[in-house]
């Protein structure tokens, strides 16, 4: 009984410290878009839906800030049903086997501009995790705020398709997340 009480006290203390050291922000809306260059300069673009995120961010205490997010792979839409079906296959996202893409911050630092930050995240796609740096801005307006960031990944490093002359390896991703306290 004593061990249980001690454990509960410790867990309560940890949760209290987490909420005391950062600001919890609740996601309200999100936009996740991507672009990949095709042959002859055309772009394939699309979006993901259904972002789930936990945001604990305090611009004055970045060392205690953290961001984690996930999105279901089956939610992407390129506005082309034939392409979407191919992207859901095991050659690309393999949505049946790998239903989510996840990101979890490992550190957040101040960037060079006002409201500018650089997050280091572990990005996991198809069970492959890579550390990536994402420059982003955070604009706070009272009890609401907006995170915006853009970054590029090599899709082949995550097993999303193979290298080909017809499709760039680079995928440009933009994220806009609106939050409230």
The DSSP H or E segment spanning 86 is helix 81-88
How much of the chain, in percent, has pLDDT values that exceed 70?
88
- d(C-alpha 27, C-alpha 19), whole Å: 17
For the segment 7-29, what is each residue's pLDDT rounded down to a tens digit? Answer: 333 434 444 444 445 699 999 99
Instruction: Give the pLDDT confidence score for residue 21 in this predicted structure.
Output: 53
Average pLDDT for residues 116-126, to the nearest whole number? Answer: 98
Question: What mean pLDDT comes out for the span 29-46?
Answer: 92
Q: What confidence score (pLDDT) does residue 39 get?
A: 81
Check pLDDT > 70 for residue 126.
Answer: yes
Q: Helix, strand, or coil here: 89? A: coil
- Tens digit of each residue's pLDDT (9 = 90 or more) over 133-164: 999 999 999 999 999 999 999 999 999 999 99
User: For all residues of the chain together, what is the average pLDDT?
Assistant: 89
Q: How many helices (H) and strands (E) does the chain have?
A: 2, 9
Residues 6 or more apart whose CB falls under 8 angstroms from that of 14 comprise: none
- In tens, the pLDDT along 45-56 reads 999 998 999 999
Judged by DSSP in three states, 179 sits in strand
What is the spatial distance between Cα 40 and Cα 107, in angstroms, rounded to a whole number? 39
> Average of pLDDT values for 94-101?
97
pTM of the predicted structure, to 2 decimals = 0.85
Give me the pLDDT at residue 133, please: 98
| Domains of the chain and CATH, by start | 23-180 (2.40.128.110)
What pLDDT is attached to residue 8? Answer: 37
């Amino acid at each position: 009984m004593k061990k249980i009480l001690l454990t509960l006290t410790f867990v309560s203390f940890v949760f209290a410290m987490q909420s005391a050291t950062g600001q919890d922000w609740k996601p309200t809306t999100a936009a996740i878009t991507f672009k990949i260059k095709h042959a002859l300069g055309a772009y394939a673009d699309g979006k993901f839906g259904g972002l789930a995120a936990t945001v604990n961010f305090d611009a004055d205490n970045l060392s205690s800030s953290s961001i984690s997010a996930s999105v279901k792979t089956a939610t992407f839409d390129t506005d082309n049903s034939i392409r979407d079906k191919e992207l859901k296959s095991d050659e690309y996202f393999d949505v049946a086997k790998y239903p989510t893409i996840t990101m979890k911050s490992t550190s957040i630092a101040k960037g060079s501009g006002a409201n500018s930050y650089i997050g280091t995240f572990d990005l996991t796609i198809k069970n492959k995790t890579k550390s990536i740096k994402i420059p982003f801005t955070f604009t706070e307006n009272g009890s609401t705020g907006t995170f915006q960031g853009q970054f590029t990944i090599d899709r082949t490093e995550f097993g999303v398709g193979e290298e080909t002359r017809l499709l760039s390896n680079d995928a440009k991703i933009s994220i806009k997340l609106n939050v409230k306290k």
